[in-house]
């Protein structure tokens, strides 16, 4: 669906993640009496198992975090009409529809494949966006499902999580300092998780740009998504979600960063800067988004 070799770029980034993990394991092995420490293998096993569970149940985890409830076509005819039209246009299965009872505007898609997927938006989003903008958001979320982004983010999160855990254990336990380089081990324990976070962030940001572009191609209306993104960003600033850990774990799935904050927190966000996303959509449309297109309704 994308035409910019993004699958290859994602595979390369995940490959770098695995290279960092192997380098970390080799460094630990050189400082211990065992080349492959049992506890490292056990940690990798736990990480893979946890990720497999999260991937298999990704739809349930995210929906529970947002306290979302399913809606029927009689309850939300506009949502169903939009999703049915776009999924048919993409020649893909129609996902389940959920609504989250929060005024903070946002939306997300989840599910391990198109046959087991769900799309969700908040009540704040339904109040904030008009039909055209809601269609743009739905197109974005559907393309996350059809591009298999949940698998990509799950694998990236798995490897990054293992690297971070091994780095933390190395920081506290250190290994055999008679045979290893304590300074190198200390540096690696800090730099490996940092590198893993940067790569995971790069993967997530690539996926968001892809879903913006592919979703706009699906709807044929990039400015509707641009207008929706601007409204959602302003709405989040007015009513951010609380930094609850369950919401933090699901935040990378959302169309916009649901939390307030700037500085370093914004730098390490898994979401690209909104102005960059809007700028790309404007270039797709061939004209800028007018100020009146993104006024927040009272």
Residues belonging to the active site: 141
Q: Using CA atoms, how far apart are residues 122 and 104, in angstroms rounded to an integer?
A: 7
Greatest pairwise CA separation for the chain in angstroms: 70
Strand (E) or helix (H) holding 69: strand 69-70
Residue with tokens 């959302």: 254
**CA gap 83, 142 in Å, rounded:** 8
String of b and e for 79-116 (b: at least 16 CB within 10 Å)? bbebbebbbeebebebbbbbbbebebbbbbbbbbebeb
With beta carbons less than 8 A apart as the criterion, state whether 95 and 86 touch: no
109 Cα distance to chain centroid = 10
Continuous segment of H or E residues that includes residue 98 = strand 96-100
């Amino acid at each position: 669906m994308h035409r910019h070799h993004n699958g290859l770029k994602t595979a390369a980034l995940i490959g770098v993640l695995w290279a960092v993990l192997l380098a970390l394991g080799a460094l630990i092995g050189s400082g211990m009496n065992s080349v492959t420490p049992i506890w490292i293998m056990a940690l990798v096993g736990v990480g893979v198992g946890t990720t497999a569970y999260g991937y298999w149940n990704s739809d349930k985890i995210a929906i529970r975090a947002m306290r979302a409830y399913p809606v029927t076509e009689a309850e939300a005819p506009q949502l169903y009409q939009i999703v049915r039209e776009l999924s048919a246009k993409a020649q893909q299965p129609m996902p389940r529809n959920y609504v989250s009872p929060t005024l903070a505007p946002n939306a997300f898609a989840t599910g391990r494949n198109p046959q087991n997927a769900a799309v969700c938006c908040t009540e704040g989003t339904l109040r904030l966006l008009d039909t055209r903008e809601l269609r743009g958001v739905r197109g974005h979320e559907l393309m996350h499902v059809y591009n298999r982004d949940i698998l990509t983010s799950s694998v990236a999160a798995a490897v990054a999580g293992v690297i971070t855990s091994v780095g933390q254990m190395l920081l506290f336990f250190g290994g055999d300092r008679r045979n290893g380089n304590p300074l190198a081990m200390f540096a690696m324990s800090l730099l490996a998780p940092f590198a893993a976070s940067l790569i995971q962030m790069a993967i997530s940001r690539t996926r968001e740009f892809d879903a913006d572009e592919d979703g706009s191609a699906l709807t044929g209306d990039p400015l509707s998504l641009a207008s929706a993104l601007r409204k959602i960003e302003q709405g989040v600033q007015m009513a951010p979600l609380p930094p609850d850990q369950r919401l933090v774990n699901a935040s990378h799935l959302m169309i916009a960063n649901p939390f307030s904050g700037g500085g370093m927190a914004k730098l390490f966000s898994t979401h690209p800067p909104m102005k960059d996303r809007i700028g790309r959509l404007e270039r797709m449309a061939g004209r800028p988004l007018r100020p009146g297109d993104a006024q927040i309704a009272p």
